[in-house]
Amino acid sequence: MALNDTDVTDAALAILDEYGLADLTMRRLADSLGVRAGALYWHVSNKQTLLAGLVTVILDGLEEPAGPWRAGLAGWADALRSRLLAHRDSADLVATMRAIGMAATDLADGPAACLTGAGLEPERAGLGARTLVHFVIGHVNEEQQRVQLGPLAGEDAPPVPSGAEDFRAGVGLLLDGIAAQFP
Amino acid sequence: MALNDTDVTDAALAILDEYGLADLTMRRLADSLGVRAGALYWHVSNKQTLLAGLVTVILDGLEEPAGPWRAGLAGWADALRSRLLAHRDSADLVATMRAIGMAATDLADGPAACLTGAGLEPERAGLGARTLVHFVIGHVNEEQQRVQLGPLAGEDAPPVPSGAEDFRAGVGLLLDGIAAQFP
DNA sequence: ACCTGAACACCGTTCAAGT
DNA sequence: ACCTGAACACCGTTCAAGT
């Protein structure tokens, strides 16, 4: 029975979750599908668009921020963090794809629209939105990296409290900064 | 005349500046030094510590923030941005090395100390400092990526104003948020 | 002490040829 | 339509052997 395109994406996501981004190679993915590496290129044009597809799946169903801007953005940031934490190395993956420019529908668009809707001028809204997205991705990236390094590093781990409360505090700090931008 | 260890670092930095991080391979570095790839391992234990050495050089001489916290952090952020902008892909490089855990003297320590010195409790100071570092690296990363993609993308580039003024506005937003953390 | 030659175990990607 | 076999042009790293 022949492979279909979603089989490939699903298998790639499984490898990502179990072995991490560094071990997600085309050859390994082919192995897990019982096929030779070259066969993958019938279903996907190259590795980069495959990874972009993973990002789409990971972020699928993330709703735009709604309601009063402050609570809306806080909830949206929480939801984004949850989706990222659900898949190993996803923050790293998303950061890489954003850097390459493949953001498809850019993550910051929703928050930016939320802020302009609340009366902030577009430039400041865009800045606040991008800063928020940076923070979420950066924070989750640290959280996910710590999981990988945790077993290695001894009890002398860096004094980074982290976790959900640290995240919320950081978001609160940012929202305070954004609040100060309003006229 | 035999190679010494700083020759290797210097040549690596030259390749980084001219061809970017993706093209900085051990084999290419060896070529530029007129030597075979294996020879590099006499001078450097592996590629990762070589890259860590580059980060050290790039950040060398960056002074800790001084004076009143707000102006001190703003100036420090500017100085960090300048050092990063001086070398191609340096923000990507620094972000990668921080993620790996090799931060040597962590960038956020200086700002954190500045904030605790100004009377902020250590947890909030650490959070504010890390958020600031995230922002600087993330922002410069975007600036440097845009340079690479600029020639490819047409005039329909994303509406990201960026540059020095955008950077300063972002830092200002963050500092407002930090100010709100003070008791 | 410093480097070469040659290998090992990998990569992503292409493409004729098979079914 | 879908896949194999085999190649191309690479990687980082090791290590005997040379000088």
- pTM to 2 decimals? 0.91
Option in A128, A131, A161 nearest B123 (CB): A161
Identify the pLDDT of residue B160: 53
Q: Is the pLDDT of residue A153 over 60?
A: no
Confidence of residue A163 (pLDDT cuts 50, 70, 90): confident
* Candidates A165, A173, A174, partner chain B, best to mutate (most B CBs within 10 A): A173
Q: Is the pLDDT of residue B44 over 50?
A: yes
Q: What is the mean pLDDT of chain B?
A: 90
Q: Which residues of A touch B (CB under 8 A)?
A: 92, 95, 99-101, 106, 123-124, 126-128, 130-131, 134-135, 138-139, 141-142, 145, 149, 153, 158-161, 166, 169-170, 173-181
- How distant, in Å, are the alpha carbons of A27, A47, A77, A90, B37 from that of A71? 45, 38, 10, 25, 55
Instruction: In whole angstroms, give the CA distance from residue A11 to residue A47.
Output: 13
Nearest nt to the CA of B50 via C1' is D12
Q: Do domains B5-45 and B60-180 have the same CATH topology?
A: no
Kindly identify which residue of chain B lies nearest to residue A143, measuring between CA atoms. Answer: B99
Q: Are A72 and A65 in contact (CB under 8 A)?
A: yes
Q: Is the pLDDT of residue B77 over 50?
A: yes
Option in B101, B126, B176 nearest A149 (CB): B101
CA dihedral B41, B44, B50, B55 (to 10 degrees): -170
Show residues of chain A in contact with B177, CB under 8 Å: 173-178, 180
Identify the pLDDT of residue A2: 85
Q: How many CB atoms lie within 10 A of CB B165?
A: 10
Per-residue buried b or exposed e for A148-164, using 16+ beta carbons within 10 Å of the residue's own CB: eeeeeeeeeeeeeebee
Q: How many CB atoms lie within 10 A of CB B159?
A: 10
Please tell me the least confidently modeled range out of A107-121, A158-172, B40-54, B119-133. Answer: A158-172
Covered bases, chain D (protein CB within 7 Å): 1-7, 10-16
Whether residue A173 and residue B175 make contact (CB cut-off 8 A), yes or no, is no
Residue range B81-110, pLDDT digits in tens: 999 999 999 999 999 887 776 655 689 999
Residue range A17-71, pLDDT digits in tens: 999 999 999 999 999 999 999 999 999 999 999 999 999 999 999 999 999 999 9
Q: Is the pLDDT of residue B162 over 70?
A: no
Residue range B102-132, pLDDT digits in tens: 655 689 999 999 999 999 999 999 999 999 9
Identify the pLDDT of residue B68: 98
What is the mean pLDDT of the segment spanning B30-34?
97
Instruction: In whole angstroms, give the CA distance from residue B65 to residue B73.
Output: 6
Q: Among B22, B165, B26, B27, which Cα is nearest to B89's?
A: B22
Identify the pLDDT of residue B155: 46
Residue range A89-102, pLDDT digits in tens: 999 999 988 777 66
Identify the pLDDT of residue A155: 45
Q: What is the mean pLDDT of chain A?
A: 90
Identify the pLDDT of residue B1: 72
* Candidates A130, A132, A140, partner chain B, best to mutate (most B CBs within 10 A): A130
In chain A, what are the domain boundaries?
5-45, 60-180
Q: Does domain A5-45 have CATH number 2.60.40.420?
A: no
Instruction: In whole angstroms, give the CA distance from residue B14 to residue B88.
Output: 10
CATH of A60-180, picked from 3.10.50.40, 1.10.357.10, 3.40.50.1860, 3.40.1190.10, is 1.10.357.10
Identify the pLDDT of residue B154: 46
Confidence of residue A154 (pLDDT cuts 50, 70, 90): very low
